Amino acid sequence: MDKFEFCRIHVAEEKIVPLGVDRNYPLHINFSELPSRVEKMQAELRGIIEGRVPSFYLDKALSTYKRMGTLGARNPHVILANVEQTMPGYYGSKGSAVLSEALVKLFLETNILTHELARPQKPIEYVQQVLVPEAGLRLITEDRLKFRRGALEGSISLEEAREIMMDSVEFGNFMHDIELNP
């Protein structure tokens, strides 16, 4: 283990994980359940694709394409700069990969998400930049509802879920990293 990796692990163990635990982020996630959970939100995600359901992430992607043009929006530096913002929070990179795979099966392999509907993005970009984070938001709202049932009633809004998602990215990247937890 190199010095950088040692420091990263130390910071995570000392700060990121305890903070995540305090905020009730899950230490363990049953990733095998994610595809079926995503299937249950298929109608709402399809609504995003068809323009019937508003999407923060679609608006953001379209804004980037409008501002930078197709080549600018597809620039690797631009894509990398936005990865953290589309990461599904405490689900980490492993969750992102599982969600991507499930969403590809639901929408690309079935030809529901076509090139025409994804424009100006490519369909796979649409999955990664719009559907993965939108599914992540909805998973977090479900998770928080389950958690709250024991103590509080009610659910959280997608905006509140977005705050949790952004706040929990570091936790997810450490606890549920696809490289460390294949």
Domain definitions of the chain by residue range:
3-175
Q: What is the pLDDT of residues 62-120, one digit of tens each?
A: 999 999 888 888 888 888 778 778 999 999 999 999 999 999 999 999 999 999 999 99
CA-to-CA distance for 123 and 168, rounded, in angstroms?
27
Q: Is the pLDDT of residue 9 over 60?
A: no
Tell me the mean pLDDT in the region 147-166: 77
- Could you give the count of Cα atoms lying within 13 Å of 12 in the half-sphere of its Cβ? 16
pTM: 0.87
Instruction: For 169, list phi and psi in degrees, rounded to 5.
Output: -60, -50
| Average pLDDT across the chain, whole number | 87
Q: Do 154 and 70 meet the contact criterion of CB atoms below 8 Å apart?
A: no
pLDDT tens digit string along 107-146?
Answer: 999 999 999 999 999 999 999 999 999 999 999 999 987 6
Give the burial class of 162: count Cβ atoms within 10 A of its Cβ; 0-12 exposed, 13-18 middle, 19 or more buried: buried
